[in-house]
Amino acid sequence: MLVLGGTTEARELAAALVGAPLRVTSSLAGRVAEPRLPAGEVRIGGFGGPEGLAAWLRAERVDAVVDATHPFAAVMSRNAAGAAAATGVPLLALRRPGWEPVAGDRWHPVASLAAAAELLPSLGRRVLLTTGRQGIGVFAHLDGLHFTARSVDPPEPPVPASLDVLLDRGPFTLDGERALLREHRIDVVVTKDSGGAATAPKLTAARELALPVVVVERPPLPDGVPVAESVGAAREWLAGLGPGW
Ligand code: NAP
């Protein structure tokens, strides 16, 4: 079977399946210079669109695919749905639930990074940007704002003129996030609705300081793909495929 990875859940699933009688391969896009590797067999790099993935599934005689990519990896999820439809290989999406606002949150949901950039100047001047290095270019034209951008690898131009880059990866602690917001005098936070515990403390820290948070909503999953919200639920789906899982 194939696990499309790049997330904590994908690594947890691969670790849980090590030692299963069937062969499990995890796939990574190759975006991160030094990725956290899943247990077991790993391949790195794109497949070449849905057709390339379908060819790979046939060549490797894959009998199940779990799309455990990040909720914002919409192209890969679409490709997986296309390849699964073309080959008849069962496909499951493993998606942790999104975050829900609680009392005291000052969230501003938006549909895209571009919409976040449009809204930002009305909300603050010193921005904590936690949307990943690939989207930083969308904010490059906002000259009046100062950005503190946190990412695993350094961003590439175009980037905002006034920018501090913090190279780091989760999980993050509440104490650490409080200190970060204070030290950088952040007055607005931008995040994707990634969900999960590893990067949630920034939301609590922002609530404590009554800071506005621009939350980019998730792209929709392709129609017709079953969804599991936890590694346990994904394993149940696999178990339903037959003996040996
Ligand atoms: P994307 O835009 O949905 O996909 C772009 C292309 O990257 C795909 O068409 C595919 O190339 C390749 N690709 C993506 N995920 C792959 C995987 N697991 N294995 C092999 N090829 C993959 O993806 P993205 O948003 O750039 O994310 C790339 C990776 O980073 C994913 O593995 C994702 O789980 C992880 N990640 C993404 C985010 C985020 O915010 N987007 C955050 C954390 C981690 P081909 O068409 O050539 O097959």
Structural domain span for residue 204: 106-216
Domain count, the chain: 2
CA–CA separation, 146 vs 218, rounded Å? 26
Residue 106 structure tokens: 């000052």
Query: 232 C-alpha to center of ligand 1: Å?
Result: 23
Index of the ligand 1 atom closest to the CA of residue 74: 3
Residue 245 lies in a domain: no
Residue 85 and residue 129 in one domain: no
pLDDT per residue, tens digit, the chain (245 aa), is: 999 999 999 999 999 998 888 899 999 999 999 999 999 999 999 999 999 999 999 999 999 999 999 999 999 999 999 999 999 999 999 999 999 999 999 999 999 999 999 999 999 999 999 999 999 999 999 999 999 999 999 999 999 999 999 999 999 999 999 999 999 999 999 999 999 999 999 999 999 999 999 999 999 999 999 999 999 999 999 999 987 77
Residue 244 lies in a domain: no
Query: 228 C-alpha to center of ligand 1: Å?
Result: 19
Residue 66 and residue 122 in one domain: no
Instruction: Count the Cβ atoms, other than its own, within 10 Å of residue 18.
Output: 11
Q: Using alpha carbons, select from 23, 2, 7 the residue that is nearest to residue 80.
A: 2
Index of the ligand 1 atom closest to the CA of residue 27: 19
Query: 29 C-alpha to center of ligand 1: Å?
Result: 5
Determine the residue of 1, 3, 4, 69 to mutate for testing ligand 1's pocket, defined as the one with the most ligand atoms within 8 A of the Cβ atom. Answer: 69
pLDDT value, residue 19: 84
pLDDT digits (tens, 9 = 90+) for 89-146: 999 999 999 999 999 999 999 999 999 999 999 999 999 999 999 999 999 999 999 9
Pocket of ligand 1 (CB under 6 A): 4-7, 27-29, 31, 46-49, 52-53, 69-70, 72-76, 79, 132, 192
pTM recorded for the entire structure: 0.96
- Closest residue by CA, ligand 1 atom 6: 76
Q: Using alpha carbons, select from 180, 218, 229 the residue that is nearest to residue 201.
A: 180
Residue 65 lies in a domain: yes
Side chain identity at residue 130, one-letter code: T
